[in-house]
Chains A and B, each alone.
Chain A
Amino acid sequence: MEAASIPESPAARTRKPFGTVILDNILWVLLAAALIIYFVQDPKQTLDDVKTGLSNGTIWALIALGYTLVYGIIELINFAHGEVFMIGSFVSVSLWQTLGVTPDNAFIAILGSMLIGLILAMLASSVLNVMIERVAYKPLRNAPKLAPLITAIGMSFILQNVGLLWRPQPDSSPDLIGSQKDYFKVFGVAIEHSDVFAFVVTVPLLVGLLWFVGSTRYGKAMRATAQDPDAARLMGINVDRTISLTFLLGGLLAGAAGMIYALYNGTIQFNQGFTAGLIAFTAAVMGGIGNLKGAVVGGLIIGVIQSISDTHYGQVWTPAVVFSILILIMVFKPQGLFGEETREG
């Protein structure tokens, strides 16, 4: 029984006039315009900002993926995700401090300890994320949306305090990657060790994740559950385990981000997760919450926005700039770049 077909009536419009397209996307247009203007004003500085932004952006991309994966599957913002990232940083730095590894050690030792640091961070964060889901979200699956959001905040606070007790003062990570040293120049912009490092770690993880979600049976289960949990259950998919798996993956990525951040940034502290979480969440929303590709693109874009803002408005204003963009997107274009119109709340 089909509905009546679309008549050749004037009601059906298949193509929007160009003007409306611009207006719909005014936000992206303005951002692009700003970038172009700054580039024209000072190409070298802008390129440098873009490079810094992209490197930073990889970290945001990894964290944003965690948000988007979880939101896609249970329509919940995992408020504590930023803290999961922070714990990843802490774990890897603690490992390196325990091993006593320094930049002067043999290359093999450095590489090995970095690898172990990465693995441990990913492990710790993924386990933590799964635990958070079990304790704070699962019992409230049928409660109104207010409830898990509050428990998420509670969890975030508990974890921040754990971080505070672990390291009351900001701590520095051994500079294992020689982060300030240059590798080469591209278009006159110096590419440093830290930039290469960020990409070298992030890209395989992203590829791995996209392959996992796109091609494996478990990934299919995740996508099915995200679309329609009841139907997925009827197909024999264990929804509970799939959700836990999603949190596991999100945690893995956040842990990796934490390790990268520790080496890239050099300093770690207990409240780094709060700001990082908000920034990464902005990235996820910008890309279209629930959309993996969007989270990555969003992360990179936010990174660039941050560095441009740092240069032109000063570091004090950058958080306000990012949060303003968050508000603008959520109010005017909540589907972001790649998302679909969804129900809210």
Chain B
Amino acid sequence: MTEQAAQALPESNGAAILEASNISKIFGGLVAVNDVSFTVPERGIVSLIGPNGAGKTTFFNCMTGLYRPSTGRVVFNGRDITAKRPDIVTRAGVARTFQNIKLFRTMTSIENVQVGMHSQLRSRLTGMVFHTPFNRREEKQSYEAARELLRFVGLRRHNELAMNLSYGDQRRLEIARALASDPQLLLLDEPTAGMNPQESEELRKLMESLRSERGISVLLIEHDMRVVMNVSDRITVLDHGEKIAEGSPQEVRTNPRVVEAYLGSQA
């Protein structure tokens, strides 16, 4: 399969929507992330790659409030979100998926997406209990919006239990659920893991349309190099918790340190 050259993708305007500076995460004696600084440009698609154990997911967790960084700051849209609670980070506009799919297994697809909308819905408890017109309207709208999102990611069965979906469908559902919080930045943790080449290609197209149709920036952890090289504006490489390279797909692919990190010093 030929690689598409870096054609004129809708260029981001360069302004950073997310700025992470000097992020470190230390667990007891183990330094999982060591002084990593990083930006995601607005409407950009950036990939974070590196061998297993490089600290990529830990870094994600530091961005999204699951871990408190030992050092460093995270600024999103001009707002300091360092070490804020995960639900506050989500409300600020950063959504994510998980490496080991964390869907609500006994809920249906549409219910999963509706939970994703939790921060966007405004019904208060009295409204819920007394089934006010506002509440009824909002519930109906959320249901429709959820269906829309499921369609957008290519899932057709709305009332299927999440645990009964195929692996690829589950990954798609996670994305739909993340999109439900109306984010400006989407963090995807190995979204194509377990997918076949065709599904990966569909996902790549989905990411592009996220950017072009919805103006969402994407930060992606990935192992599938085809996807990474094709979709990324910029790639950052981590190894042993440190940033060892950063640049365009072309630059990174030929960087000797990157090759060494992946293949060992033989290559």
Chain B residues within an 8 Å CB radius of A10: 71
What does DSSP make chain A's interface, helix, strand, loop or mixed? loop
B31 close to A4 (CB less than 8 A): yes
Partner-contacting stretch, out of B9-17, B22-30, B133-141, B183-191:
B22-30
CB distance from A36 to the nearest CB of B (A): 35
A3 close to B240 (CB less than 8 A): yes
**Which residue from chain A places its CB closest to the CB of B25 in the assembled complex?**
A11
Chain A residues within an 8 Å CB radius of B34: 4, 7
B35 close to A3 (CB less than 8 A): no
User: Looking at the complex, which one of A3, A6, A11 makes contact with B71 (CB distance below 8 Å)?
Assistant: A11
Chain A residues within an 8 Å CB radius of B70: 11
A11 close to B24 (CB less than 8 A): yes
Cβ proximity bits B60-80 to A, threshold 8 Å, 1 near / 0 not: 000000000011000000000
Count of chain A residues with a beta carbon within 8 Å of a chain B beta carbon = 10
A9 close to B35 (CB less than 8 A): yes
Say whether B153 faces chain A, with CB atoms less than 8 Å apart. no
Chain B residues within an 8 Å CB radius of A3: 30-32, 240-241
Say whether B42 faces chain A, with CB atoms less than 8 Å apart. no
Chain A residues within an 8 Å CB radius of B31: 3-7
A10–B22 Cα distance when bound, in Å, is: 12
B26 close to A4 (CB less than 8 A): no
Say whether A40 faces chain B, with CB atoms less than 8 Å apart. no
A4–B24 Cα distance when bound, in Å, is: 12
Total number of A-B contacts with CB less than 8 angstroms? Answer: 26
Say whether A234 faces chain B, with CB atoms less than 8 Å apart. no
B242 close to A9 (CB less than 8 A): no
B240 close to A9 (CB less than 8 A): no
**Which residue from chain A places its CB closest to the CB of B33 in the assembled complex?**
A4
Say whether A12 faces chain B, with CB atoms less than 8 Å apart. yes
A9–B241 Cα distance when bound, in Å, is: 14
CB distance from B73 to the nearest CB of A (A): 13
A4 close to B242 (CB less than 8 A): yes
B29 close to A6 (CB less than 8 A): yes
CB distance from B26 to the nearest CB of A (A): 6
A4–B27 Cα distance when bound, in Å, is: 12
Interface size grouping (class) on chain B: 10 to 19
A10–B70 Cα distance when bound, in Å, is: 10
CB distance from B29 to the nearest CB of A (A): 7
Cβ proximity bits B27-67 to A, threshold 8 Å, 1 near / 0 not: 00111101100000000000000000100000000000000
A9–B32 Cα distance when bound, in Å, is: 14
**Which residue from chain B places its CB closest to the CB of A10 in the assembled complex?**
B71
| Interface residue ranges of A1-48 to B (CB < 8 Å) | 1, 3-7, 9-12
| Interface residue ranges of B212-236 to A (CB < 8 Å) | none
CB distance from A266 to the nearest CB of B (A): 51
A4 close to B241 (CB less than 8 A): yes
A153–B22 Cα distance when bound, in Å, is: 51
B240 close to A12 (CB less than 8 A): no
A6 close to B26 (CB less than 8 A): yes
A11 close to B242 (CB less than 8 A): no
**Which residue from chain A places its CB closest to the CB of B24 in the assembled complex?**
A11
**Which residue from chain A places its CB closest to the CB of B34 in the assembled complex?**
A4
Chain B residues within an 8 Å CB radius of A9: 24, 35, 71
**Which residue from chain A places its CB closest to the CB of B71 in the assembled complex?**
A11
A12–B30 Cα distance when bound, in Å, is: 10
A11–B68 Cα distance when bound, in Å, is: 13
A119–B242 Cα distance when bound, in Å, is: 63
Chain B residues within an 8 Å CB radius of A4: 31, 34, 240-242
Chain A residues within an 8 Å CB radius of B53: 1
Most buried by B among A3, A5, A10: A3
**Which residue from chain B places its CB closest to the CB of A2 in the assembled complex?**
B240
A3–B34 Cα distance when bound, in Å, is: 10
A100–B240 Cα distance when bound, in Å, is: 75
A4–B31 Cα distance when bound, in Å, is: 6
A1–B54 Cα distance when bound, in Å, is: 11
Chain A residues within an 8 Å CB radius of B240: 3-4
A12 close to B242 (CB less than 8 A): no
Chain A residues within an 8 Å CB radius of B24: 9, 11
Chain A residues within an 8 Å CB radius of B29: 6
Chain A residues within an 8 Å CB radius of B32: 3
- Pairs across A and B, CB under 8 Å, 21 listed: A1-B53, A3-B30, A3-B31, A3-B241, A4-B31, A4-B241, A4-B242, A5-B31, A6-B26, A6-B29, A6-B31, A7-B31, A9-B24, A9-B35, A9-B71, A10-B71, A11-B24, A11-B26, A11-B70, A11-B71, A12-B26
Given contacts A1-B53, A4-B240, A11-B70, 9 further A-B contacts (CB under 8 A): A3-B31, A3-B240, A4-B31, A5-B31, A6-B29, A7-B34, A9-B24, A9-B35, A12-B26
Q: Which of A's residues lie within 8 Å of B, judged by CB?
A: 1, 3-7, 9-12
Q: Which 7 A-B pairs have the closest CB atoms?
A: A11-B71, A11-B70, A4-B31, A11-B24, A4-B240, A4-B34, A3-B30
